[in-house]
Amino acid sequence: MLLFGWSPLARSALALSMLLGTMVKHFVSEERMRIEPVVQGLVSGLLTDGQHPVPVDSTTAVLVRKIDNMPGLMRFGMRMLLFVFDWYGVFRAGRRFQHSSIEVQQLRIGEWAASPIGPCRDMVEFHRKMGVFVALSIESGERP
């Protein structure tokens, strides 16, 4: 009943924040949001050079495990970024990142790698550095 005294703008802001909160809770939770397809796209886009075979699946599995083992706030932040990154593809090209071709995926990765927003660059940098470390460790015989 209290809401009737609020301005339309305040009511809209409240509704929007509740909607966003629900979306975040729904989509970013580990049970709901499978990050594997997005991480896999990042691994493919960042590590594939067209000449060397890359252990994409096992590298992805290790990276997902590492994200799940991050401290809570970092894990939440990384999942949020992956979620936004996936849907950013719809905004730019009409398809989510995980459903795009590797060429389009590489374009999206390039855009975020050069983003003025630090966390966006950090997200790509994390997958590049940790991805290459994991992939080469696996190539050199380590069990994923």
Rounded Cα distance between 97 and 106, Å, is 10
Question: Can you tell me which residue has the tokens 């050199």?
Answer: 140
Q: Which stretch binds other proteins (CB under 8 A): 1-9, 15-23, 89-97, 131-139?
A: 131-139
CB-count burial class (<10 Å; 0-12, 13-18, 19+) for 39 = buried
Q: Do 54 and 135 meet the contact criterion of CB atoms below 8 Å apart?
A: yes
The residue from 71, 91, 94, 103 that contacts other proteins (CB under 8 A) is 71
Among the residue ranges 12-20, 23-31, 91-99, 123-131, the one whose residues contact other proteins (CB under 8 A): 123-131
**Whole-number minimum distance, CB 10 to other proteins, in Å?**
25
Please, what is the minimum distance in Å from the beta carbon of residue 56 to other proteins? Answer: 12
* Residues found near other proteins in the complex (CB under 8 A): 46-52, 54, 62, 65-66, 69-74, 76, 113, 118, 122, 125, 129-130, 132-134, 136-137, 140, 142-144
